[in-house]
Amino acid sequence: MTRWTTVAQKEIRSFFTGRTPKIGVGLVALVFVFGGYITPTTVENPAAMDVTIADLDRFLRGIVVFLVPLFGLLLGYRAVVGEREGGQLALVLSSPISRADVVLGKTLGRGLILTTTITAGTLGAAALVDYPFGTVALDTLVIFLVTTVLYGVVFLTIGIGLSTLTASMRRATILTFGVFFLLVVAWPGLEGYILDALQYVNLAGDALPDWARFVYGAEPTLLYQRVMDAFVADVNTGAYLGSSAPWYLGGGTAVVLLVAWAALPVLGGYVRFRRADL
């Protein structure tokens, strides 16, 4: 057994000590299942129209882009700083375990919790979509599942990244709240302001230039929406996915960027944490 699996194992055990985490995880899974239960009723004539994962996506999207980031951040933001402040980290690092083992083990342990939760919820939802009225195509289901898990992992690693940056739980909480507000609440509404700003400095005409659209659209929630639009909802219009848009605004690039988001925050946090005084 490697050292980071030792950490991951301990992490999972410790996580489920209290009742709150169990309830939290259960609720998240239930929301997905509930979505699967409701979805057929949102389709006009479910007996004639095949209910699919695309319908589930359409119904759940607005909830997912709020719930999954919150879940990921809550799962991650205490991971390192909580044990650093509480003193468990001193005990972990008294063994020949490196700080990389700690960050990797925690990310994997909590990543596993997140993956299991979303997978259980999605599979439950898919079963309710499939029966009695619909059909679930395996490829769409896999894309829905993998993208949603990846989306959750992005916020999990952002949370863990933030938890490695500071030695104070309070500061980590404030940072996490700030990130949630910026990325989940504020960002989707910023397009107009960015356009105004660019027009003011004569960098934009009537619409955002492609490079600005790329930068603006490289935010996790917008990326998730684009991947789902491209590969689950089969959207092929609009500034990003339309036929005249450049390739780098497409769904494939969005997948790559989302993967980068899943890795970079925690790596950045680790680089700071590696040499920090505990």
Binding site for another protein (CB under 8 A): 1, 3, 6, 10, 13-18, 86-88, 90-91, 93-98, 275, 277-278
238: left (phi over 0), alpha (psi -120 to 50) or beta: left
DSSP state of 133: T
What does the chain come to in residues? 278
- For the chain, the C-alpha Rg in angstroms (whole number) is 20
From the CB of 145, what's the least distance to another protein, in Å? 29
Tokens linked to 10: 């301990």
Residue 180 makes CB contacts below 8 A (sequence gap 6+) with 69, 70, 73
For residue 29, the minimal CB distance to another protein (Å) is 21
At 54, list the tokens.
């695309």
Task: Read off the amino acid at residue 270.
Answer: Y
Write out the two tokens for 98: 């490196």
For 116-135, b where at least 16 C-beta lie within 10 A, e where not — what string? ebbbbbbbbbbebbbeebbe
- Residue 74 CB, shortest distance to another protein, in Å, is 17
Q: What span, in angstroms and rounded, lies between the C-alpha atoms of 196 and 119?
A: 41
Nearest-approach distance from CB 100 to another protein, in angstroms: 9
Q: How far is the CB of 87 from another protein (least distance, A)?
A: 4
Compute the least distance from the CB of residue 119 to another protein, in Å.
Answer: 23
